[in-house]
Each structure stands twice: as structure tokens, then as C-alpha cells.
Chains A and B, each alone.
Chain A
Amino acid sequence: MPPASSSKLRALDDLLQRAVAGDETAYRRFLTEAAVIVRRFAARRMPRQSAGFDLEDLVQEILLAVHTKRHTWRKGEPVAPWLFAIARYKAIDAYRRRGRRIEIDIAEIGDVVDARSGPPTAVNRDVGRALASLKGRQQAVVSALSVEGKSIRETARELHMSEGAVRVAFHRGLSSIAKTFGRV
């Protein structure tokens, strides 16, 4: 069932082992490989043509979950089942949230049609609510990157922040949104 060759999956074991020991290069390679595998996995499982679903959003959510929960992988255990279990969990989560979003879509179909200029993957009001829950720089950074689609470099220049600070603010902002809205 795993949509990748088994030798590739086994190479992940080694990469993650070096990564948790603090090897940045190994971790980057691990995440890059994992992203490819997870993207294929997600593409197969999720009905892509439906509204309000962005495959890349899901891939990023899975990668973030892999990052924050990487301490639940133990040396010597195969990475692949662990990775797929996380991917499946996040896919189900995304599917549920999408279901709710579609209900909103139908109720406010007029608004959506009018608001052509808005971001394509979420209802404007949801984005607004999520952004409103943030403060100061986090809000500015999340808005610039997710809504306006600016690059990290651009955002850093405009807000007079370092690129590292932009990344940190972005992820803190996203985690905070996930905490506020992610749970039922």
C-alpha cells in the first residue's frame, strides 16, 4: 500500500535518526522526501476537485505535525508506518474541516461569487476571523504570506524584520490559529 519504493522508505529511517540527533541537512532531506511521499499519499486519498481543498495545504499541515510530533518516533522503529499514520490522521482532520467549510459555501454562495478577488482556498470570512485572532506582527506576517501571497524576503523587507523572524512569527501565528480554530 505505501506509495513509494521500500528502499526509499527505509532510507527515511536513517535520515530521521540523524535528524533527531541534530543534523540539519539530514532533516531537510528527510522532510523533502517525506513531502513527496505524503503528497502522493494525500493526492490519492483526497477528492481534489472539490471546493475548498488545497492539496499543498494538507501536505504542509502534515509536515508541521511530523515536526512537532517527531519525538513520538523512536530509534529503531520504521518511519514509514509512523509517517503514514500521521498523514492519515491529518487527512481525515482536513476532510472534516472541509465538510464544514462546504456548508458555509452553500449558504453564502452569493458572497463567494461576488468576492472573486479573494483567496481561492478558503472563505474570506474564515480567513478574516483567523487573522483577527492574531496580534501585531504575527497578524501582519500571516496576512502577507498566506493571504497576499508575498515571499518571505518581501515580507521581511516591508516589515523591517529578519527572514528568520518572519518565519518564526508565521509559524507561531499558524499554531495559534490552529489552537483557536482547529479544535471542535
Chain B
Amino acid sequence: MQTDDLILDLAGRADEDDGGFVLPLWSAALIAPVLAAAVFMVLLGPRPDFVASLSTLRFDMKFIEAGLFALTMLAVMAALARPARPWRQRLRLILLPACVLLAAIGVELLVVPEGLWASRAIGQNAGNCLIAIPSIGAPVLALFLFVLSRQAPTHPAVAGAVAGAAAAGIAALFYAAHCPDDSPLFVALWYPLASLILAGAGAFAGGRLLRW
């Protein structure tokens, strides 16, 4: 088959829509929290003192950190979805949630006596955290992978990993309402570990499912 023949044929299908069902990224970003909320309410639900805790800074910081991380990763994922978008530059946005978390750690180390640091960091709920965030995030990751598969990621494994991280950020936003451990030391240790699980799963799946 000659290239010219191929061109003639493709040109004849200029107005044909063969990309399949293309769900825009922004709508997936809106569906994702709803999906995560549904799984969260079925599996865990908010902790009993949820409303009272809203007035404590440590509790609120968890949502700010998770929310910033989720937004950052969504922005990077959007750039990775299509060819030649500046995803590396956007990756630098990760400094924002990282700095907020570092500042929170700094304050926590100042106000909490040294003897309590270890117990604050280990918390009571570490195992739960490592299970709950990937569980809540898994359907979100599946949604993101589906959406990305209809785009054209030229770095499939990286796109999958970032999709996993974004899903983890959204999952953490809800899990934070359940988890009794509010210390930034706990958040800085276990939330990233839980996110790594999803990012790893995303990289693995992305390397296989997102090729085109």
C-alpha cells in the first residue's frame, strides 16, 4: 500500500469521528470526587467528631494539603494527556503542596514536645490509611485511565503514574475526614506512602493500557 493511497483514504474520512467516546478531562475531574465520595461513604464515612474537628487547624490542614496535591496532579495529568504539552513545567507545581506540608511539619515540631514526635508520626491508623486511600482511589484511577486512553499520552507509564497520584489526592481528601490522626507528621509519612501505591499501580497499568 502506497503512502499516497493511505493519504487519499484518510482524507476521505476527514469528518469521520473514530476517536470513540471521548470524555473531556474536566468532566472526569468533576466526576472523580463524586465517585470517591460514594466509595468513602460506603466504606468508612466521616469520623463522629467531624463537625467539631473543623475548628481545629490540624484537621483543616489535611484537606488543604490533599486538595492542593490533587489539583497539582490533575494539572500535570491534563498536560500529559496530549502530545507536546508542557507537563514537566507543570510538575514543578508540586512544590506548592510540598512547601505547605513542610511548613506544617515545622510548626508541629515546634509546638509538640520531642518525646511525642514518634507517636504522632506513627499514629493509630497507619494501616487503615495505606488500605483506605488506595481503595477509595482505585475507581478514580480507573476513570482517569479510561479518559486518558481516549487522548494521546506520549508517556503512557508516566501518565498512568500521575493519574494514580491524582486519584490518591482525591481519595485523601475524603479519607482525611475519617482518619483520627491529624498531625502533619502522620500526614507527611503515610499519605505519600499510600499515594505511591496508587501511582505505582497507575504506572503499571498505564504502560500497558495507554499505548496507542
Show the binding face of A for B, using Cβ within 8 Å: 19-20, 22-25, 27-28, 31-32, 35, 56, 59-60, 63-65, 67-69, 71-74, 81-82, 84-86, 88-89, 93, 145-146, 152, 164, 167, 170-171, 182-184
Per a CB cutoff under 8 Å, which of B5, B10, B18 touches A152? B5
Flag if A31 contacts B83 (CB, 8 Å).
no
Cβ contacts under 8 Å, B152 to chain A: 65, 69, 72, 86
Interface string of B54-85 (1 = CB under 8 A from A): 00000000000000000000000000011110
The 9 A-B pairs with the shortest beta carbon distances in the complex, nearest first, are A85-B83, A28-B11, A81-B84, A85-B84, A27-B14, A22-B15, A69-B152, A89-B154, A31-B7
Cβ contacts under 8 Å, B3 to chain A: 35, 56, 59-60, 63
Flag if B208 contacts A183 (CB, 8 Å).
yes
Q: Give, as a whole number of angstroms, the nearest-CB distance from B212 to chain A.
A: 7
Q: Is the interface of A mostly helix, strand, loop or mixed?
A: helix
Cβ contacts under 8 Å, B1 to chain A: 60, 145-146, 152, 170
Known: A69-B152, A71-B19. 6 other contacts (CB 8 A): A22-B15, A28-B11, A63-B3, A67-B10, A85-B83, A184-B211
B8 close to A (CB within 8 Å): yes
Flag if B151 contacts A72 (CB, 8 Å).
yes
Show the binding face of B for A, using Cβ within 8 Å: 1, 3, 5-15, 17-19, 22, 81-84, 151-152, 154, 208, 211-212
Cβ contacts under 8 Å, B154 to chain A: 85-86, 88-89
Distance A110 CA – B161 CA, assembled complex (angstroms): 44
Most B-side CB within 10 Å, residue of A20, A31, A145, A146: A31
Distance A182 CA – B17 CA, assembled complex (angstroms): 22
Cβ contacts under 8 Å, B19 to chain A: 68-69, 71
Distance A19 CA – B154 CA, assembled complex (angstroms): 23
Per a CB cutoff under 8 Å, which of B10, B12, B14, B81 touches A63? B10
Cβ contacts under 8 Å, A184 to chain B: 208, 211
Q: Give, as a whole number of angstroms, the nearest-CB distance from A181 to chain B.
A: 12
Cβ contacts under 8 Å, A146 to chain B: 1
Cβ contacts under 8 Å, B83 to chain A: 69, 72, 81-82, 85-86, 89
Distance A27 CA – B22 CA, assembled complex (angstroms): 22
Q: Give, as a whole number of angstroms, the nearest-CB distance from A96 to chain B.
A: 10
Closest to A144 in B: B1
Cβ contacts under 8 Å, A63 to chain B: 3, 6-7, 10
Cβ contacts under 8 Å, B151 to chain A: 69, 72
Q: Give, as a whole number of angstroms, the nearest-CB distance from A36 to chain B.
A: 10
A-B contact pairs, 7 of them (CB 8 A): A60-B3, A63-B7, A67-B10, A69-B151, A69-B152, A167-B9, A167-B12
